[in-house]
Amino acid sequence: MKKNVIRIIAVVLAFTMLAVSFAGCSTSEVNRPIPVETKTDLGDVYFEFTYGELKKILPGDKLATLYENFNKKTDDRVVKLSYYELVSKYGSEEYFNDILALISDEEWAQFTGNQQEVLDYFNGMINDIKTNGSARVSYYENFWINHGDGVVFKSEDGKELENQDKFRAAFRLYADMALKDIGSFLMNLSQEDATKKNADLTDVIYPLGEKTASTLTLNDLYTDEKTNTFPIYTSIVPTMVYDLDEKGNNAEDEEGEYIFVPSELYRTINMVVKPEEASVKKAFTVREKDGIMEQFKVAENYLILNSFEIAFAPCKITAGINAVNDEMAYTTYEKNMIITANITFTGALADYGTVVVEFPCTSSLTYNFGW
C-alpha cells in the first residue's frame, strides 16, 4: 500500500515538474505589424533621390529631417518620395525646381502615363457615391477674394489707374460689405447636418441637379509646364511603422538599418480643370448671372454696380482616398474666378467716379464622406 502511494506521489511530482518546465520555456507571441497593400494599382510613382544628390540642394535641417530614420547617411542612401510629398514639403521653396531636375525622363513618363486610369478611377468613385448614396456626406463652403496686387483698377477705356492702393482701400470696404452677399450667392449649399447613407444626393454633390458627379475627360483638364501644373496625378503617402523581429525588437536589415512596413496607404488625387465654362460645368455648379446684381444693393451708399463679367481661372479638384479599401474620405472643389465689374462710387466715395475693377475670387466646397 505504501509503495502504491509513493508511486502516485512520484508521478504527480513528475507531472508538476514537467508542467513547470514547459511554463518556464514558453514565450509570448510577437505581434508583428502586417503590411497593407493598395486595393487598386494605379501605377503610383515614388521618385528616388540619393543623399549625395539632395545634400547639394536641401538646407541642413531639411536634409536631417528627411533622413532621420537612417543610421548611416552615405551618399548612395536612397529615399523615395511621391509627388504630393515633394510639393507639400518643398513646393514653396526656391530650390523646388532643382529637386525636380533630379527626376529622370523615365520617371516623369511613368508619373504622367496613368492619367486616363486615374481619371476613370476618380469618376467611378465619385459617381458611385452620388448615384447610389453609398456614403454619408457632410460639407462646408467658403468664399474669398484674393486681395492685394491681384485687384486692379482701370479707367473705362482700359487704362490702369494710378494710386492703386487708394482704390484698393475703398474696394476692401466695398468687398467686406457687398461681396459677402455675393459670396453667399455664388456658393450653392446651405450648411446642413450630414446626410444619411443611401440618401438622394442629386442636389447635394456637384453639379447640383445632375445625376452624376463628373463627366470630365482628359480634354477638359488643364496643364502648364511652366508652373509644374499637371492635368491630373495620383500620389500615395504611406504611414510606416517599425517591423519587429522574433524577440519583439525593431527589425534591422543586413546593413543595420531599421526595417519599416506600411500600416496605412493614403492616396491623393489632384486635377486641374480648364478655365472654360463647358469643362467646368462637367464637375462644378455654375451660377447664372441673374440675381447677382441684387446682391450689390446692400452697398448702394458706397457704390453702384453697372455691369460685370465672370471668367474662370483654372479650377482645382482634390480627393483624399484610403487606398487600402478604396473609400473616399473627402473631395474639395475650388472654383477660381476673375470678376470684372464696372462700378460707380457714390456718397462719401463719389470723388472716385466710375471705374473698372478686376479681382480674383474663389468659391471652395469640401465634401467629407463617412463609411
Residue holding cell 478655365?
275
What DSSP letter does each residue of 96-111 carry, written as one string? HHHHHTTS-HHHHHHH
pLDDT in tens, 48-78: 999 999 999 999 999 999 999 999 999 999 9
Rounded average pLDDT over 146-168:
81
Determine the pLDDT at residue 20. Answer: 44
Q: How far apart are the C-alpha atoms of 153 and 355, rounded to whole Å?
A: 7
C-alpha cell, 78: 536612397
Alpha-carbon separation of residue 87 from 84, 180, 221 (angstroms): 5, 32, 20
C-alpha cell, 314: 483654372
Determine the pLDDT at residue 170. Answer: 72
Q: How far apart are the C-alpha atoms of 214 and 125, rounded to whole Å?
A: 10
Determine the pLDDT at residue 293. Answer: 57
Q: How far is CA 258 from the centre of its chain?
A: 30
pLDDT in tens, 263-297: 999 999 999 999 999 999 999 998 766 555 555 55
Rounded average pLDDT over 107-128:
97
pTM: 0.83
Alpha-carbon separation of residue 292 from 285, 312, 315, 341 (angstroms): 15, 16, 21, 12
Determine the pLDDT at residue 93. Answer: 96
State the chain's maximal CA–CA distance in angstroms. 126
Determine the pLDDT at residue 153. Answer: 85
pLDDT in tens, 171-215: 776 666 555 555 555 555 555 556 777 788 999 999 999 999 999
Rounded average pLDDT over 246-255:
91
C-alpha cell, 187: 456658393
Rounded average pLDDT over 27-42:
90
Q: How far apart are the C-alpha atoms of 87 and 352, rounded to whole Å?
A: 43
pLDDT > 70 fraction of the chain, expressed in percent and rounded: 82
- Tell me the average pLDDT of the chain: 85
C-alpha cell, 9: 506521489
Contact criterion met (CB below 8 Å) for 151 and 339: no
Determine the pLDDT at residue 164. Answer: 81
Residue holding cell 504622367?
112
pLDDT band for position 10 (cuts 50, 70, 90): very low
Which of residues 172 and 103 earns the better pLDDT score? 103
Please check the confidence at residue 258 and state whether its pLDDT lies above 60: yes
Q: Residues for the chain: how many in total?
A: 371
Alpha-carbon separation of residue 138 from 165, 166, 194, 224 (angstroms): 40, 42, 4, 33
- Other CB atoms within a 10 A radius of the CB of residue 362 amount to 18
Residue 230: name the closest of 87, 103, 120, 102 by CA: 87
Peptide bond into 207 cis (omega under 30): yes
Domain edges within the chain:
44-113, 115-239+260-370
Q: How far apart are the C-alpha atoms of 244 and 219, rounded to whole Å?
A: 48
Residue 262: name the closest of 98, 44, 86, 50 by CA: 44
pLDDT in tens, 334-359: 999 998 888 888 887 788 889 898 88
Residue 202: name the closest of 216, 188, 189, 212 by CA: 212
Rounded average pLDDT over 91-95:
95
Q: How far apart are the C-alpha atoms of 233 and 118, rounded to whole Å?
A: 7
pLDDT > 90 fraction of the chain, expressed in percent and rounded: 58
